[in-house]
Amino acid sequence: MIVHRPLEGTFKFARLVLRPSGWYLQCVCETEPAPLSQKVNSVGLDMGLHYLVADSSGHIIENPKHAKKSAKKLARAQRKLARCKKGSHRRKKAQHHVARHHERMANQRKDTLHKAARHYVDGYQVIAIEDLQVANMVRNHGLAFAITDASWGMFRHYLEAKAESAGRQVIAVRPHYTSQKCSSCGKSVEKSLSVRTHVCSFCGYIADRDENAARNILQRGLQVMARTGPSSSRREGPEPSGESPSALKREAAGL
């Protein structure tokens, strides 16, 4: 048996799990959360498809696109499975091979998102994110595959869970028009989805499109916190009249 890491804290229970890669014994232990030093800084996060995350400080996390990179190997394994006779030993082996591909992609995706969430929870006291309605966005069939691969919902789940245990604050704000609004002067700067650089014709501010959006997200988050006070998790109220959910889909297409 290979031990992934030593057990810590008080042992509670264990469960035996069968996955495509083999059997695993999962041990659940109760531990005290590691104390993190209090921070006074804050950050806004813009989740996208061009970058997985771009923040208001200019830091980016590249989108690894695990499913896209593995698509050819997975398709080849699925074609091999389709050629196998039902009930045969070869078909069982081919099914196992396909399942291993899916498990590997899922593990890679979870590892990327866990590390990204840990980076922001360790580094910032207040984290503002977009309140994306992913279930509605994947109805756009042209973007569904890429959005599912990016797993914005899973990233938010990891971020909020880690933030709660560390005493950090996560504030979810409306994502509408964050790329079009200038984060420096507040004017609306219309740009097509192919334009990656925000250039404000009013104040001259220049920044990456996603960084500008992240700065707007941070500003909205701080406004919400000023109105409602500190909390481990906050969500901005309903969208104002005139801001349609379809605008979010147009924003997502160019991320």
pLDDT digits (tens, 9 = 90+) for 196-243: 999 999 999 999 999 999 999 999 999 999 888 766 566 666 554 444
The predicted model scores a pTM of 0.81
DSSP state at residue 197: E
DSSP state at residue 186: -
State the catalytic residues: 46, 130, 210
Q: What are phi and psi of 140, to 5 degrees?
A: -75, 100
Across the chain, how many H-helices and E-strands are there? 7, 10
**CB neighbours of 237 closer than 8 A, spacing ≥ 6?**
none
In the chain, which residues have pLDDT < 50? 240-251, 253-255
Pick the closest to residue 171 from 159, 189, 183 (CA basis).
Answer: 159
